[in-house]
Amino acid sequence: MRSISIKALITANIAEVILLFGGIFIIVQIGIVAELAALGPGHLHDAIEAAGDSSAVAYATFLYYVAVCCVGGAIAAWMAGERKLLHGALSSTLVLLSYLYPSSEDRHFAAIPDWLDFGVSYSAPLFGMIGALLAARANWRTAVRWSVAFAAMIVIYVLGWLLAGRLGWSFGRALAAALGIIAGMSIAPGEQRKQAFMQLSGCLIAVPIAVLLWRLAAGGGSVGNIMWILYDVIGVLFAYMFIRRVPGWSM
């Protein structure tokens, strides 16, 4: 137990809780604002319900949850200096404890299936270990820029998606994907922009594909699921065409 850094674990756990709940609050508020902008003044209650039922907000929150758990694991590993995987796994202790007494009737997002909710929520130690592994290969400045890059992409993508949907401009969802990727790339380390493009684009495309596969497995699926994938693919192409024209961003 001498190799366990209590200071590293306390710092990582507190930082993870603050980042997690603070970030989720911001994502939900962005969703509510977007819904309210489309519905108009006087529809606050409807906007809150619409944001709570939004698949975009729900899956953006889950992606953010994974990113924060990785960041917490990285923080613990950096501070501990040894036994990085163990410290990374233990960095999500407080988050896991918050899931031990869930209300059976309280579902934060109706769009999230139970199996995915359970699987992602209780995989926090695994994500923390991934963060610890990444911490061994990168300095903290690089990791912070990557984390902010993903967060920026998620925020812009969700906001653009909701606004486009509520304003009836379906093709605007492709633009939201493109803007999210470009924003994330602008924040990622300059020497890793090609890698950032691949990872950010892959993330945007993987989520709707996973949702489609889940719904097909459950006997569902719809044209809307396929269009979600198509809009994101078009957004990736838009981002690629833009990036090729920016000096110093050559792919």
SS3 for 156-168 is HHHHHHHHHHHCC
Query: What CA–CA distance (Å, rounded) separates 104 from 214?
Result: 23
203 and 228 in a common domain? yes
pTM over 0.85: no
pLDDT band at 83; cut points 50, 70, 90: confident
Digit-coded pLDDT (tens) for 149-203: 888 888 888 888 778 877 778 788 899 999 999 999 988 887 788 888 998 999 8
Structural domain including 175 reads: 145-251
Q: Are 180 and 192 in contact (CB under 8 A)?
A: no
* Number of neighbours of residue 244 by Cβ within 10 angstroms: 10
202 and 93 in a common domain? no
pLDDT band at 124; cut points 50, 70, 90: confident
Nearest to 89 by CA among 4, 24, 147: 4
67 and 10 in a common domain? yes
- 248: Cβ–Cβ under 8 A, 6 or more apart, which residues? 190
Query: What CA–CA distance (Å, rounded) separates 193 from 148?
Result: 14
Q: Are 147 and 75 in contact (CB under 8 A)?
A: no
Digit-coded pLDDT (tens) for 209-243: 877 776 676 666 667 778 888 999 999 999 998 88
Q: State which of 137, 162, 189 marks the end of a domain.
A: 137
Q: Are 236 and 247 in contact (CB under 8 A)?
A: no
pLDDT band at 104; cut points 50, 70, 90: very low
Query: What CA–CA distance (Å, rounded) separates 89 from 13?
Result: 11
18 and 38 in a common domain? yes
| Three-state DSSP class for residue 9 | helix
117 and 45 in a common domain? yes
Nearest to 185 by CA among 102, 249, 113, 115: 249
Query: What CA–CA distance (Å, rounded) separates 23 from 42?
Result: 26
- Residue bearing the bigger pLDDT, 21 or 251: 21
> What's the pLDDT at 108?
52
124 and 151 in a common domain? no
Instruction: Give the chain's domain count.
Output: 2
In the chain, alpha helices (H): 6-39, 44-52, 55-80, 84-90, 93-97, 114-121, 124-135, 140-166, 172-187, 193-217, 223-244
Nearest to 29 by CA among 67, 57, 56: 57
120 and 6 in a common domain? yes
Tell me how far CA of residue 160 lies from CA of 29, 147, 155, 201, in angstroms.
14, 20, 8, 16
